[in-house]
Structure 1
Amino acid sequence: MRIIEEIDEMIETARGWLTRGSVGFIPITNELSMHAGHQALLVTAREHCEITVVCLLRTPLSFDASSDTTMSTHSLEESLRLLTASDVDVVFTPRWEILFPAAYATYIRLGGSIQEALVPAHCTDNALNEFATALGQLLLIVRPDIAFLGQKDAIQAAIIHKIIHDLHIDVSLRLIPTVREHNGLAMSSHTLLLSPQEREAATLLHNCLLLCKNSIEQGVDDAPTLTQLVHTYIAGNEHITLLHLLIGDPETLQARDKVIPGTLLALKARVGKNLVNDNIQWMRDGSWRL
């Protein structure tokens, strides 16, 4: 396994991809350590691509993780050890200040429905643009054929999809189902920071999404009704503060008044001092990605 920290070295390495086969790319942002969800991504990437590249990037921004935690040297070393055992070809570990040096001035600005959905519910406008720019840089530096994400990262996937579409970047995006603990909690290194009481409370998030699924299957297609159902289900739990609920298009994040096949139901909540995200998606063929 090759570990690359510098952008120039990663660019030079990527120039040789064409002669070696297809490249699968797994961007991992703001995770403290590897977990079973990442292992599922690695397995899928290896099944479909000859070369597997993982990027470990810690950002100062708050999207899918709490901004008051940091990736320690120990957690980075542990992640690298696990990746070595997972038959990964390249691990790219750029520092944020290398992606955004003092003189940096070229940003991707996301507008439209994505901007409306994420600002201010998930972040500030500047933070969204920085995050999108970082993801765009990674795609252009690594030059993968396929980018792999878990369904838990549906918001990040929407951002990547928009970048790929609007900038005509030749990359396919593939989502795999969320890996969950036995109690339904979506796998994340940040859930390890929850107290036992907070972990128990966090299971309500997936449960209320499943309640929405059952309601939809019984004919309830009104988004405001489902929104009220979620608020009622979570209300009163002292450990949970619901920050945002999106019922909309999974690619544009455009909100929908009526739920139809192809709709994403995504929520963001603060559980204790940590941010927890979860979602489910009603697929266009009528199945569910849970």
Structure 2
Amino acid sequence: MERHVSTVEIVTELTRMRDISQNWRAHNAQIGFVPTMGYLHEGHLSLLRQANHENDHCVVSIFVNPTQFSPQEDLDVYPRDLEGDHAKIKETGAEVIFYPTDKVMYPPGYKTYVTVTELSSKLCGITRPTHFRGVTTIVCKLFNIVGPHRAYFGQKDAQQAFIIKKMVTDLDMDVVIRILPIIREEDGLAMSSRNAYLSPTERRAATVLHRALQNGLELFQQGSREPLLLQKALQEFISQEPLARIDYVSIVDPDTFLEPGENCQTLLAAVAVFFGQTRLIDNMTYSCDE
């Protein structure tokens, strides 16, 4: 199904996006969808290439969603580069960029939100209490507009991906959620649009996240299965970096995002750490099968 297109249509109006999607569906074509906030990196592009490979048509949205930012967060300075994103997207085979304005997605008088309870208040939800409500609301709206058969997300945002899958299941949405592996820089740092905020010194310090997760994996492979001991080891490793300020370090069951049971054979190590004003997240799966 892979395509290479010379032009990519930038769609700003909801009705035009729906018309395109409905036309494709009328011809029994499969639609792949990658929702993003733009400033694309190789992690996003890997999702787009996979969507292009697995579907007849591919859509990417670029929308810096205001409802997932709290007032003190980085909405106004979040990096944006539509021209650069457009050039990158052309190389992936995607045919449409859905690029709506805030007023299109949240018109005057907007009052409706989608919340996955309990799961949205853990981990990232503790320090960002309204974040996941904004994520699930916008993803739900985008699914309704684009009408994809498959939607693609990265494992770096593991909690987000889990919550979206739960929303899709609970609301009987007819879309398959595909979660693809984390794409990393050569030194192990997980690719993120927010990496652009880091100073050179902070950028070097941020590699401690992957090194800590790798250290935890080695302990797991050596037989350490106790979640609290693994959590403590990760915290101590990260704390050795003076520029790192830990938000959370957590070990959870990746199938529930709850505290692991005694016989849990797979664990998810998840971390959120500040370097200066920049908050980065990362995670790694520890499995007895590996």
Q: Which runs of 5+ in 1 are unaligned?
A: none
The AA in structure 2 aligned to 1:212 is G
- Do structure 1's residue 286 and structure 2's residue 257 form an aligned pair? no
Distance 1:69 1:252 in 2: 34
Which of 8, 20, 38 is 2:15 aligned to?
Answer: 8
Match of 1:230 in 2: 234
Q: Offset of 1:207 from its aligned partner?
A: 0.8
Assess if the C-alpha contact under 8 Å between 1:66 and 1:274 holds in 2. no
Three-state SS of the structure 2 residue aligned to 1:136 is helix
Distance 2:164 2:22 in 1: 22
Q: Offset of 1:214 from its aligned partner?
A: 1.1
Match of 1:269 in 2: 273
Q: Which runs of 5+ in 2 are unaligned?
A: 1-7
**CA 1:114–1:78 in structure 2 vs 1: closer, same or farther (change >3 Å)?**
same
Which of 146, 150, 153 is 2:150 aligned to?
Answer: 146
Distance 1:258 1:129 in 2: 31
Supply the RMSD in Å over aligned alpha carbons: 2.2
**CA 1:51–1:164 in structure 2 vs 1: closer, same or farther (change >3 Å)?**
same
Assess if the C-alpha contact under 8 Å between 1:58 and 1:71 holds in 2. no
Q: Offset of 1:195 from its aligned partner?
A: 1.7
Q: What is the correspondence of 1:169-184 to structure 2 with a 5 Å cutoff?
A: 169-184=173-188
The AA in structure 1 aligned to 2:44 is H
Distance 2:48 2:224 in 1: 37
- Do structure 1's residue 24 and structure 2's residue 27 form an aligned pair? no
Q: Offset of 1:129 from its aligned partner?
A: 1.6
Three-state SS of the structure 2 residue aligned to 1:120 is helix
Which of 86, 91, 96 is 1:80 aligned to?
Answer: 86
**CA 1:267–1:101 in structure 2 vs 1: closer, same or farther (change >3 Å)?**
same
Match of 2:206 in 1: 202
TM-superposition CA deviations, 1:218-261 (whole Å, max 9, x none): 11111111111111111142211111223223354223265833
Assess if the C-alpha contact under 8 Å between 1:181 and 1:187 holds in 2. yes
Assess if the C-alpha contact under 8 Å between 1:205 and 1:278 holds in 2. yes
**CA 1:130–1:36 in structure 2 vs 1: closer, same or farther (change >3 Å)?**
closer
Assess if the C-alpha contact under 8 Å between 1:24 and 1:51 holds in 2. yes
**CA 1:148–1:54 in structure 2 vs 1: closer, same or farther (change >3 Å)?**
same
**CA 1:71–1:240 in structure 2 vs 1: closer, same or farther (change >3 Å)?**
same
Q: How many residues align?
A: 279
**CA 1:67–1:244 in structure 2 vs 1: closer, same or farther (change >3 Å)?**
farther
Three-state SS of the structure 2 residue aligned to 1:278 is strand
TM-score normalised by structure 1 residue count: 0.88
| Runs of 4+ deviating beyond 6 Å | none
Assess if the C-alpha contact under 8 Å between 2:132 and 2:160 holds in 1. no
Assess if the C-alpha contact under 8 Å between 1:223 and 1:257 holds in 2. no
Q: What is the correspondence of 1:235-254 to structure 2 with a 5 Å cutoff?
A: 235-254=239-258
- Do structure 1's residue 35 and structure 2's residue 41 form an aligned pair? yes
- Do structure 1's residue 89 and structure 2's residue 95 form an aligned pair? yes
Assess if the C-alpha contact under 8 Å between 2:253 and 2:264 holds in 1. no
**CA 1:247–1:68 in structure 2 vs 1: closer, same or farther (change >3 Å)?**
farther
Which of 112, 115, 125 is 1:106 aligned to?
Answer: 112
Match of 2:189 in 1: 185
Distance 1:246 1:224 in 2: 9
Q: What is the correspondence of 1:250-261 to structure 2 with a 5 Å cutoff?
A: 250-256=254-260, 258=262, 260-261=264-265
Match of 1:116 in 2: 122
